Structure 1
Amino acid sequence: MADEVKLPADSFEPLDKSKHLDSEKIAAPNLTFMQDAWRRLKKNKSAIIAMIILVIFFVLAFGSAFISPHNPNAVNPQLANLPPKWPGVNINGVNGTLVQAGSRVNAYQAAGAGAGVHYWLGTDYLGRDMLSRILFGTRISLTVAVVATAVDLLIGVSFGLFSGWKGGWIDNFMQRVIEIIMSIPTLVVVVLLILILKPGMTSITLAIAFSSWTTMARLIRAQTMELKGQEYVLAAQTLGESSIKIAFKHLLPNLSSIIIIQTMFTIPSAIFFEAFLSFVGIGISAPQASLGTLLNDGQKNFQFLPYQMWYPAIVLSVIMIAFNIFADGLRDAFDPQTKE
């Protein structure tokens, strides 16, 4: 047997800390799931721009009671159908002039309006300020969509969680209920609610909420059935956790991305459906206005006064596009498999 070789004590020396050796240092930051999703979302410039646009619209719409230049329902027939007029701007289309009988005339002088009277987006056929009505109409459209989506969120998530968690004959029965509701056209539901209730925000909100939660419920149910077989859920059941605690502590956090994304797609659908109902005359009743009623009023004079339809149409289009772009950005941000 060979003799043991003993190394002297000075064979080992501590490393110099000034060299800052970081061969085992974690390079990536320690982020939570939501922090990582926000980091990924910030890299999507189009989604951030869409989010800023939506914030601006929400602030303007829900702050319309304070920033609106005129009463949106105040009727002034003498100032009816005036074109847009921006103070200090002498550009055709925004200088208060119209083409009549082949010549351009000052519509404000012809109507006897004072020198200081101006309407940024013109007036409608009753002399009501278009800018104020668009602001209030946007608020009504957003309110209907947000309330309907909140009901959709509450019913759809609860229904889908319970159905997916229980499974078996309970899940089979609950899915048949969803199929029955989905087979009923939403327009029929609206008409029935209008017969029971008076036309307005309540009937439209209930109609949208009644028919729109089924998609959310199906998505949540499918993901719940997948998640309930995961190890952390089985471990929680083994430790004696209640079903309610497992749902709120383990399932809902892992379903948050789907809930947020589906909500962002539901809101523009509700806005468009409300605008459609108001456009065909079974939505918001006068004198209140939504984007749909403004489009309906504007299309009557579109050939001669196109601005009365263009402005609410532009607002509705921008809101719809911004919501869809923002929802696409959220979908990419919450998907870890998406390439950055």
Structure 2
Amino acid sequence: MADAKLSPDLFKRVTVDSTEKEKITTPALTFTQDAMRRLRQNKVAIVSLWVIIIIAIVSVMTIFISPANPNKGSLAYTNLPPKIANWNIPGFNGYQDGVDKYAGLGKNVWFALGTDYLGRDLLSRIFVGTRVSLIIALVATLFDLTIGVTYGIISGWLGGRIDTVMQRVIEIVSSVPNLVVAILMLLVFKPGMTSIILAIGLTGWITMARLIRAQTLQLRDQEFILAAKTVGESGGKIALKHLVPNLSSIIIIQTMFTIPMAIFFEAFLSYIGIGLPAPTASLGTLLSDGQKALQTQPYQLIYPAIVIVVLMLAFNLLADGLRDAFDPKSQR
């Protein structure tokens, strides 16, 4: 087959305006704007973010608007199955083992997710439990941010013997199990939110401190840090103006992983009976109470379990999305 020859008439000269040669066709984006753009492209992370926002809003709104008093029970309403008005929805019609448990209680008596062994509305207690778990997780995360970030920056910035001593302190603190710390807090303080928050806060900052320290060791020898030292800026200003902005991605990502860990730890403590005292509801206490009636009233365990699973998945998926957005090199 002969080679096809191209005629010069097939080509057209293209002229380009000299003013257009250096023009940037795409808008310039900052690091944060580029990270948010990548985050918006992650549909799973965005859905998880909206799930967390909706759960948080509903939890706050139920402070003022609640289906029932979460701590008020009635022996006439004990262990009632879920029922939604007069709708004949399987699983939400008030029947259990073919028997209408709401017979004789009145037409206007119904509980969307049923009641517990004391006749308390399970839906209202789930709202309270979710709110309490989120508050504990958020307050405990503040310890992670304040102590962990500050400790890590100081350790990595100063280096030398101070860094060595500070790292030995971290090793000593991390060698003590979280459960032992929680029990010690219960001995010092009364069982409640304060002891749980302190138990999580006293040990939860270690991972953050190690990550921040490792990144600070890399940043302190960068050119922009050396330039700041040259012009005479103090260590505090360098940390606030240069280190913290460059550490923001690690701080955000680790924070999003810390929140579900705190929620799970609080639920674990309440589940084994050393968490929040009765009648305060949390996801852990609801799981503990539901487990006792699993064979006869499984809904008392299923619905709180669904809430904590959704919360854990949403926070972890959002954290994965933030990690991919702020650190594209971590993507496989």
Shorter-normalised TM range: over 0.9
Aligned counterpart, 1:140: 132
Distance 1:70 1:42 in 2: 38
Unpaired stretches in structure 2, ≥5 consecutive residues: 1-14
Counterpart in the other structure of 2:24: 26
Question: Which of these residues, 72, 91, 98, is aligned with residue 93 of structure 1?
Answer: 91
Q: Is the 8 A contact 2:267 2:285 kept in 1?
A: yes
User: In structure 2, what is the equivalent of residue 70 of structure 1?
Assistant: 68
| TM-score for both structures, normalised by structure 2 | 0.93
Which aligned pairs between 1:1-340 and structure 2 lie closer than 5 A? 22-99=20-97, 104-109=98-103, 112-337=104-329
Gaps of 5+ in 1: 1-15
Shift of 1:338: 5.7
The letter for the 2-side match of 1:86 is I
Deviation at 1:67, TM superposition (A): 2.8
Match for 1:64: what amino acid?
T
Q: How many residues align?
A: 318
* Distance in 2, Cα, partners of 1:80 & 1:337: 55
Tell me the distance in 2 between the aligned counterparts of 1:290 and 1:338. 35
Residue by residue over 1:211-230, the C-alpha shift from the partner in whole angstroms, topping out at 9 and shown as x without a partner, is 11010000000000100000
Structure 1 residue 20: Cα displacement: 9.9
**Normalising by structure 1, what TM-score?**
0.91
- TM superposition shift of 1:148: 0.4
Please give the alpha-carbon distance, in whole angstroms, between the structure 1 residues aligned to 2:120 and 2:255. 35
Distance 2:250 2:232 in 1: 28
Residue type of the partner of 1:220? I
Q: CA deviation at 1:21?
A: 6.5
Identity %: 60
**Aligned-partner residue type, residue 37 of structure 1:** A
Cα distance in 2 between the residues matched to 1:249 and 1:92? 59
Q: CA RMSD in A?
A: 1.6
SS in 1 for 2:102: helix
- How far residue 23 of structure 1 moved from its aligned partner, in angstroms, is 3.2
Query: For the structure 1 residues 86 and 20, does the alpha-carbon distance in structure 2 shift closer, same or farther, using more than 3 Å as the test?
Result: farther
What's the offset of the Cα at 1:175? 0.3
* Paired residue type of 2:170: I
Larger radius of gyration: 1
**Per-residue deviation at 1:88?**
4.0
1:309 is aligned with what amino acid? L
Measured after TM superposition, the shift of residue 117 of structure 1 is 1.2
Q: Letter of the aligned partner of 1:216 in structure 2?
A: M
Give me the whole-angstrom Cα distance separating, in 1, the residues matched to 2:257 and 2:331: 22
Structure 1 outlier segments of 4+, above 4 Å: none
Q: Distance in 1 between matches of 2:188 and 2:25?
A: 63
Letter in 1 for 2:127: L
Counterparts of 1:22 and 1:86, CA distance in 2? 66
Letter in 2 for 1:168: G
Q: Within 2, Cα distance between the matches of 1:278 and 1:337?
A: 39
Structure 2 vs 1, CA of residues 20 and 68 (structure 1 numbering), >3 Å: closer, same or farther?
A: farther
**Distance in 1 (alpha carbons) for counterparts of 2:41 and 2:115:** 42
